[in-house]
Structure 1
Amino acid sequence: MLINSPQLGKLGLQEPRVRSLPTSRVDTLVDDLLDICDLARLRNDPWQEGALEAITSVDAFGRWAATEFGLLVSRQQGKGNILLSWELAHLFLWERADGAPKLIGHTAHETRTAREAFLRAKRTILAVPALRAQLLGGGRQTAQGVSGISTGNGNWTIELENGNRVVFFTRTGGAGVGMSFDVLIVDEAQHSPLTVLEALLPTTDASPNKQVLFTGTVPKEDQDGEYFEGLRDRGRRGGHPRTGWIEHTPVGSEAPGAVIDMSDPEVWRQANPGLGIRLAWETVQDDWERMGQTNPDAFARQRLSIWPDRPDAVVESLSDLDLEAWINAAGAFPVLGATDGAVISVAVSRGGGSATVAAARRVDAGRIAVEHKKTDAGTLWVAGYVKKLKDELGNALVVLDAKNAVAVISALQGAGVKFLSMNLDEIAGAHQLFIEHTNAGMIVHRDQPEVTASLQFAGVRTLTRGGGQTWETSEAKKPITHAQAVTWATWGVLKSEATPKRERPVVRGYA
């Protein structure tokens, strides 16, 4: 029997408790998206339309205002409708500015989640003749299935005659790595460890108009959702030029230690926008009666999306870096083309399991631009990639920590790539200079979430000689090669400017 309350029978609140838009927003393309929804016979609830209106924000140049956008909402609310509407608009409506085919990625942690999203998109398209006709081969029925729809190679793909594709896959192994997505969905973002995202997120870097959409729920104790948590923190603080965030949570759930009456139907409404539309009141009532007394934490997480905050001081105490200054310095600062004084840096993870390449250049008298170029498993790819990048940037200086890059040194030498190795004093100096320049707003960069995450979770350690500091992993699953690479690239620019001009540097040993 339902609780006797005047709130019963009402719909869930359609306005999210937190709606943080990127500061670069000047308009939205939601009307275009709703047109394709009408054609596809997709009905969106008010809260879903509101989310889509925010996600499709554009800046003054017509690009997506948010290069990263997060949506936190509990299960069974209709999140899939938002993802499908967004995918259809990208697939059928919004073309790349250069006319090249667009590649859309939809990734989930669970295979069944990715497959269900594919099947729903397939059913929607095949049910609308005007959409089906645009499939590769006209969407004809063949002995193998429907033309333009593929289920091979571990991925599920829908392809149009114009070359646009949407690929559905699970985040396992190297899935998605090696592809170049224009836009990407990271569903079930509550299970998105940095060790996976550090390889997956750079697949959008080559896009002239990228956006990564994260959707998920509050992680369980055994789920690795540190990136989603970092996105949540950035979104709640707001004021970022390229970050958007929406969450449907009860009033007070953001404050550590807040007392929330989880038996109150009004609290249920605040956290469940689909209540009374796609989710029955009886279902939430049953959940409360089943878990309220025996496992209230599970009810808070699963049904109310209550995600206890760690105090900000825990994150900020990892280093002296002003993460807000770093985030606010994002903009159009690519490190491209032949540039005098360009620097390439190489950082190898402990054990040589992966490596990161970054680059830097002087922008003007007061600013240095840094950019993450590539991260991939192993180190065999590094020498060839650095040689090519060095040529593209005009014989750029290459710097690295030779003590931790033994695996790539011989390969660089074999490829004829000269480099400058950093000694312990220089590594410590690079760390201090990077933090000072970043905190002063003198380091600018393209908005690359994987670098921000690496800097956010990087700790520090004190070097045995001289007492200086350098980056150190705060946890084994939180890689720091992105942080190391941009730090060392910055040092390389300052070092080359302070060194009298001479012939290109020769290899020198580690001191």
Structure 2
Amino acid sequence: MKIAPPGGRANSWEDVADLSTAFGLTLDPWQELVLQCAMAERADGRWTASRVGLSVPRQNGKSQLIVSRALAGSLLFGEKTVIVSAHQQDTARETFMKFMELIEANPALEARLSGGSIRTGIMNAFNREQIKFANGSVVKFKARSAPGGRGFSCDALFLDEAQILSARAWASINSTMSARPNPQVWLLGTPPTPEDDGDVFARARDSAMDGSSTRSAYLEWSADPADDPALEETRAKANPAWNSRINHDVVQGEYETYSPEQFARERLGIWDEDVLDVFAGAWPRCKGEPPTVPPVRLAVACDPDQSQGAILASAVDEDGIVHVRPLRYERGTGWLVEAAAELARELGTPVVVDGGGPAASLVPDLNAAGVPLRTLKTSEFLDACAEFHQLVMTQRLRHADYAELNDAVRVAVKRPVQDRWAWGRRKSAGDISLLEAATLATWDALHPLKTKTPTVHRWPATAGR
């Protein structure tokens, strides 16, 4: 994704790249593209982009980009105070050390320091790192803190780890820069985790994408949620330095040990608002032929208003792959008890119900009809949701491309339950009772209760109706 404000009459990006190259810091093409979007100037000499946002997975070269732009600010653009900030001082110091490596490798650059040497131009004390040039420009490296905006008055500000930037710190920082004639603020980071204070970064992204900010540049490298995370082409799409800086073996290790959501966020650059799109994107890859393997397990579910009901069956094959198959999906729930009773007798298996869901109101009628029930507790249903999600993401589940079930997957959202989650029936953009039934039936197939009634080793005649 690339967004740049209109109205630029000139662009200084080549000057930045040339200066970096002169001192041995050759930029990648993707870094030059960021500069092209960020360094355009209006007719009055001010930046067209007063704010620059960048979302890209780790280890692709954000720090080198910061060093390049900060160096140009000091030596080319007359920016007297440049600040590089991160959530933690350790991260800010990492960028400082990259700057130091560049200086130490270039006597001509060291000569541009205050006093002409590292000894006089560099302060290396932890929490006080700074680089001062002979022209009076200074680059400071600072950690952010809740009340810490007062020290951020500067001409160019680079906010690394922008996914951890509180609204309070952001407001304070902005107020200190408002008096500067031509300030530019960069927000550089990765998609925020649920634990991060990521609202500021998200709002900066949204305002650039929806056009409400006319002075924002924003660039993002990410995979499409529908892309297969196991493929190298997917990983390369999200990591612009895939063929230069990224260790492919390390990424494979991340894929094998991270949760699907974590890998999507951290390595594929996909924002959490699209994480369920990752799930929906994985769903088509689970398409398979209708199962013939027993045993069959049953589950029932309905929407919160009981205007739609579903019965779905599942089976596990000899390779441990779960197969799911809708049996009935109709309006209302008046038909559901009789149909569930008939199927339970035919297949000799209990019917699974979420004890905390809308279908729990049918339990008395199901009992009266003699239907053997398995009613899941809330904790079990949460486990079932997580397990179903994991099976889809790892392609350990198969479905035969049923349109109504596909629709349920497409519109489903999660709802938080303390520090866990379940399918959000009311917040989803459509009925998800088939998805809920699939979740329940899958859980029963993988964690069956012992029953004295023999299971019929075939699918019912109504399968797929």
Q: Is the 8 A contact 1:74 1:305 kept in 2?
A: yes
Shift of residue 45, structure 1, vs aligned partner: 1.1
Among 250, 259, 270, which residue is 2:237 paired with?
A: 270
2:166 equivalent to 1:188: no
| Equivalent position SS for 2:148 | coil
Shift of residue 201, structure 1, vs aligned partner: 2.2
Q: Distance in 2 between the 1:139 and 1:151 partners? A: 13
Match of 1:206 in 2: 179
Among 53, 57, 63, which residue is 1:80 paired with?
A: 63
Match of 1:303 in 2: 267
Which structure has the highest helix share of the two? 2
Shift of residue 172, structure 1, vs aligned partner: 2.0
Amino acid at match of 1:300: A
2:210 equivalent to 1:242: no
Match of 1:229 in 2: 202
Q: Distance in 2 between the 1:263 and 1:202 partners? A: 45
Deviates more, 1:210-219 or 1:30-39: 30-39
Q: Distance in 2 between the 1:180 and 1:231 partners? A: 20
Larger radius of gyration: 2
Q: Is the 8 A contact 1:184 1:212 kept in 2?
A: yes
Deviates more, 1:181-190 or 1:170-179: 170-179
- How many residues get paired? 275
Q: Is the 8 A contact 2:9 2:43 kept in 1?
A: yes
Match of 2:93 in 1: 115
Q: Is the 8 A contact 1:21 1:238 kept in 2?
A: no
| Equivalent position SS for 1:177 | helix
Match of 1:283 in 2: 250
2:106 equivalent to 1:131: no
Q: Is the 8 A contact 1:184 1:204 kept in 2?
A: no
Amino acid at match of 1:275: W
Q: Distance in 2 between the 1:47 and 1:306 partners? A: 18
Deviations 1:484-506 (A, max 9, x none): xxxxxxxxxxxxxxxxxxxxxxx
Q: Distance in 2 between the 1:216 and 1:153 partners? A: 23
Deviates more, 1:210-219 or 1:152-161: 152-161
> Closer, same or farther in 2 for the Cα pair 1:266/1:86, shift >3 Å?
same
What root-mean-square deviation, in Å, do the aligned CA atoms of Structure 1 and Structure 2 show? Answer: 2.0
Q: Distance in 1 between the 2:274 and 2:247 partners? A: 33
Higher normalized contact order (CA 8 Å, seq sep 6+, divided by chain length):
1
Among 109, 127, 139, which residue is 1:154 paired with?
A: 127
Q: Is the 8 A contact 2:3 2:219 kept in 1?
A: yes
> Closer, same or farther in 2 for the Cα pair 1:153/1:80, shift >3 Å?
closer
Shift of residue 93, structure 1, vs aligned partner: 1.4
Q: Is the 8 A contact 2:191 2:272 kept in 1?
A: no
Amino acid at match of 1:128: N
Shift of residue 240, structure 1, vs aligned partner: 3.8
Q: Distance in 2 between the 1:166 and 1:20 partners? A: 28
Match of 2:82 in 1: 104
2:37 equivalent to 1:54: yes
Match of 1:217 in 2: 190
Alignment of structure 1 residues 424-503 onto 2, 5 Å: none
Q: Distance in 1 between the 2:152 and 2:172 partners? A: 11
Q: Distance in 1 between the 2:237 and 2:274 partners? A: 22
Q: Distance in 2 between the 1:173 and 1:309 partners? A: 26
Give TM-score, length-normalised by structure 1.
0.52
Q: Distance in 2 between the 1:260 and 1:66 partners? A: 32
Give TM-score, length-normalised by structure 2.
0.56
> Which stretches of structure 1, 4 residues or longer, exceed 3 Å deviation after superposition?
173-176
Among 6, 25, 30, which residue is 2:13 paired with?
A: 30
